[in-house]
Structure 1
Amino acid sequence: MTEEKLIIHPRPSSIVASLYTLRDLNVDVAILHGPPGCSFKHARLLEEDRLRVLTSAMDENDFVFGGREKLERTIQQAVDLFNPKTIALVGTCTSMIIGEELTDSAAAAPDGVDVICVETHAGYANNTDGVVSVLEPAMECGMITTEELERQRRLLAEATNVEIRHGAASKGYLAPSRGDIKYKTAERLIEIIRSGKKIAGILNAKKETAYMFADELIALYETARLFGMEENITIFSNTDINLGLTRVREHAANVMKAFDEQSIPVHEIIGGLDEYAVTGDVVSDLILNKYGVCNVTRRCGMFEAAVIAGVPHALPMEAFAGMELFSITNGPRQVAPLKDMGHQHVMVEIDLHPQTLGVSTIVASEFGDTLRAVAADIMAAEIGEKK
């Protein structure tokens, strides 16, 4: 009998995953039925992203005698304060352990307010279970179709597999790291750009994180354009505006608009912003076939480097054989797995997630700004030498 792998570093919570999914469905108010500090950081951040997050503020007495009265009082306060059309009642470890029935309290909401009961807790092995716990009742009340629910199940299953293979669940303990020094990496990338090598710029981002990860590719293209090498850059992007939950499609449209406004061509759409875990086959086919042979629009030959922003570890290394890889993640614990896979340059955008909540336009990235600054310095120095 194989012993189950014990993961001892902190990992994302199913409760938090439920809250983000409610946000993506444009639910107005989420009420956490649990202690006031449960999921505090994310609950506060989500209030900046159009989701009101309240708590029933269960205490030690409620742990014994139940907190139904507090939950129903909180529902009424939510109605009085925000006049919501939709309210989600979200379980926590406390309320689920003592057996609170969220559906019993749903009737406290007045007519005209739709209530979703999310039976979840933080004890699931994978945080994707928290997403399913929202999508199932959302389908039952008509917020999504049966087809979309099944599509999401497939995506979530593969997202879990990605984390087990090369992500946060791949080892028992992963030490956090800030990755490679950004200005040194920028210097190397500029060398490659100026050498005339062909580069694939790949956005494979998860939902709203695309607002910053897209900036990495904008900076790549701008830098190539500064040196007259933009024809060697090919942009792949998982920003299909027709795929995903309501808010996810909005994010994709906003990112595509930003690319267009800055005259940056997106050569290939590789999926939606919720499909980051399943884009690998599309990327492989494009790199190995469409761009691996002579065609009417490009020279012959493979890409010699790739800049991958978002979830690089979801893409198969077979597609990048012989390439120099520059990969950007927002997970400090993702650096070691990416290095183990063979990504030569790995950088981390620290605090990316808080900066991309509640926005609808591109957010400047540290590596993107570093690349721009180094390129500008090189250009200025060379102009000065010519005078």
Structure 2
Amino acid sequence: MHPRPSPIAASLYTLRDLNADVIILHGPHGCCFRTGRLLENDGVRVVTTAMSENDFVFGAAEKLEETLRKVESMFSPKLVGVVGTCASMIIGENLKEAAQNANINAKVITVESHGGFGNGDNTEGAIAVLNAAAKGGVIPYAEAERQNRMLKLATRIEKTRGMAKREYIPPSYGDNKVEVAKILLERFQNGDKIAIVLNAKKETSYLFSDLLKVQFSNIAPGNKPTIIANLDDEVGLPRIRQHAANIKKELLDAGISVDVITGGLDEYPVTGEEAVKFLSDKHFDLVVVAGVPHALPIEKLNTDTIAVTDGPRIVEPLKEMGYTYVVTELDAHAKTLGTNKIVRSDFGDVLRGIMDL
């Protein structure tokens, strides 16, 4: 019952990760407005055919062809994505035919996505882009198949462990950040063995990686946390690999090394399992998981835990699966779009503030 991410938005984000220069939404000018505006911060031009009531009856293929030609003259793109919306898909607009008729120089990927696409899961929109990209020779079929598997696993996790597990989950902002930060710092000072796990996805990793940069040695010299992260920069679409490389370099420049690499940023549905395999044999006193903590089977660990998430509707499920404390970081996507550096997090700043007192 509660709102879920749209397949259309997932299509837009996936085209961004393929380094599309321009994305055309074939629909009303207000469709996915916020997502389109946010993606412009990442250097992607997002435009619309601005379908109106008359177009809903008589079609708007000519508008799409005109928009494609205008995009070419304005931006000289190499890769263009055309994404359907509820309006254009319900009336059966032929995106591929319009793209062929426009006959522009750029490679054009057409994606017949809409709000109820497939079974309505947002990942359906991403899968549609990947399959179209493979057919168009933009990515290998093997990569599309790997990505599809990860997206289906991600959907399963949301439906069994995340905010889609029940019809309605009330939003919550979790435990008090100051109190949780004090507990974490006290555990460092007591000499507890602590692990910090980054299990993040896409650009939000720039925010959740901030926890890895906190200099806990300032209050607990010699008690270095074990860092586990899904930062393999040889896995995933071009932009995703670059995110991982950027974060690892910044951590290294700050004198921080990652002890265990569990996989890539798009492999978060399975890297949580890899993290637990490592943690289960090491007897940690406290484990902190940042990013997508519900993808990590924390119930397999007999220890105190802290989850750092960006979803108010995921707080209750995280508590149910056994996390001792849960803190939230709001607007992770909005804060990290357009950056190539680690972004300071609220929880990280609270920790730094307490250590400076």
TM-score, L = length of structure 1: 0.90
Unpaired segments ≥5 residues, structure 2: none
Which residue pairs with 2:7 in the alignment?
Answer: 14
1:372 alignment counterpart: 352
284, 309, 313: which is aligned to 2:290? 309
RMSD: 1.1
Runs of 4+ residues deviating >6 angstroms: none
Deviation track 1:77-109 (CA, whole Å, cap 9, x = no partner) reads 111110111111110011000000001110244
Are the aligned partners of 2:307 and 2:323 in contact in 1 as well (CA < 8 Å)?
A: yes
| Cα shift readout 1:127-164 (whole Å, capped 9, x = no counterpart) | 10001110111001111111101111110111011101
Moved more, 103-112 or 65-74: 103-112
How far is the alpha carbon of 1:113 from its aligned partner? 1.1
| Residue number in structure 2 paired with 1:278 | 270
The residue type paired with residue 93 of structure 1 is C
One of 27, 52, 56 as aligned partner of 2:49: 56
Q: Which residue of 2 aligns with 1:333?
A: 313
Match in the other structure for 2:252? 260
Distance 2:158 2:254 in 1: 34
2:236 maps to what in 1? 244
Deviations along 1:326-355, one digit per CA (max 9) or x if unpaired, are 111111111111011111111111112101
* Maintained 8 Å contact 2:305/2:324: yes
Distance 2:306 2:340 in 1: 26
Matched, 1:115 2:108: yes
Q: Is the 8 A contact 2:188 2:223 kept in 1?
A: no
Q: Which moved more, 1:360-369 or 1:170-179?
A: 170-179
Match 2:204 to one of 199, 209, 216: 209
Inter-partner Cα distance in structure 2 for 1:168 and 1:79: 41
Listed as ranges, the matches of 1:1-387 within 5 Å are 8-124=1-117, 125-219=120-214, 222-223=215-216, 225-289=217-281, 292=282, 302-321=283-302, 323-377=303-357
Task: Give, in whole Å, the separation in 2 of the partners of 1:113 and 1:179.
Answer: 47
The whole-number CA distance in structure 1 between the counterparts of 2:144 and 2:198 is 25
- What CA distance in whole angstroms lies between the structure 1 residues aligned with 2:200 and 2:208? 7
Contact 1:196 1:232 in 2 (8 A): no
Amino acid at match of 1:349: E
Q: Distance in 2 between matches of 1:53 and 1:279?
A: 32
Aligned partners of 2:352 and 2:300: how far apart in 1? 28
Note the C-alpha offset of 1:253: 0.3
Kept in 2, the 8 Å contact 1:75–1:108? The answer is: no
Residue 280 of structure 1: how far off its partner (Å): 2.8
Using the alignment, how far apart are the partners of 1:13 and 1:264 within structure 2?
37
Tell me the matched-pair count.
Answer: 355
Distance 2:16 2:104 in 1: 22
Larger Rg: 1
Provide Cα deviations, 1:228-287, integer angstroms capped at 9, x if missing partner. Answer: 345441000100000000000000001101110111110000110001111133112211
Q: CA deviation at 1:111?
A: 4.7
The TM-score with structure 2 as length reference comes to 0.97
SS in 1 for 2:64: helix
Taking structure 1 as reference, are residues 17 and 230 closer, same or farther at Cα in structure 2, changes over 3 Å only? farther
Give a deviation string over 1:155-204, Cα, whole Å, max 9, x none: 01110111011112111101111111111111111111101001110000
Counterpart of 1:283, as a letter, is A
Contact 1:209 1:353 in 2 (8 A): yes
Name the amino acid aligned to 2:277: D
Per-residue deviation at 1:315? 0.6
Q: 8 Å contact 2:82–2:108 — kept in the other structure?
A: yes
Does the aligned pair in 2 maintain the 1:29–1:51 contact within 8 Å? Answer: yes
SS in structure 2 opposite 1:49?
coil
Q: How far is 1:227 from its partner?
A: 2.1
Query: Which amino acid in 1 is paired with 2:284?
Result: F
In 1, the alpha carbon distance for the partners of 2:173 and 2:277 equals 32
Summarize the Cα distance change of 1:265–1:231 in structure 2 as closer, same or farther, 3 Å threshold: farther
